Amino acid sequence: METPDQLLDRLLAAKAARRESLAALDYAGKVRIVLRLQRMTASIYALRGKVVRIWDIDEQTLRPRSDASLNRR
């Protein structure tokens, strides 16, 4: 039977492997994850009174989602 220490070692190893596989993604794949992380964390920041701006770009094309007037006044 697995001891608590063995269980912890196994979980930490799995976590490290997960980080390694994320680090090995191509840059565009990582940017897509950043977009999701922005959406996930923005509401948490808002609860703390911090205003953050989520990038309004398409997750597939990584280009602006709507009209180009976003760029300029």
Among 15, 57, 17, smallest CA distance to 34 is for 57
State the minimum distance, in angstroms, from the CB of residue 46 to other proteins.
12
Told to check if 47 binds other proteins by CB under 8 A, we report no
State the minimum distance, in angstroms, from the CB of residue 7 to other proteins.
21
Residue choice 11, 14, 22, 46 for contact with other proteins (CB under 8 A): 22
Label each residue of 47-69 as H, E or C. Answer: HCCCCCCCCCECCCCCCECCCHH
Told to check if 65 binds other proteins by CB under 8 A, we report yes
Told to check if 28 binds other proteins by CB under 8 A, we report yes
Contacts made by residues 22-31, CB under 8 angstroms, sequence distance 24+: 28/62, 31/62
CB nearer to other proteins: pick between 11 and 34: 34
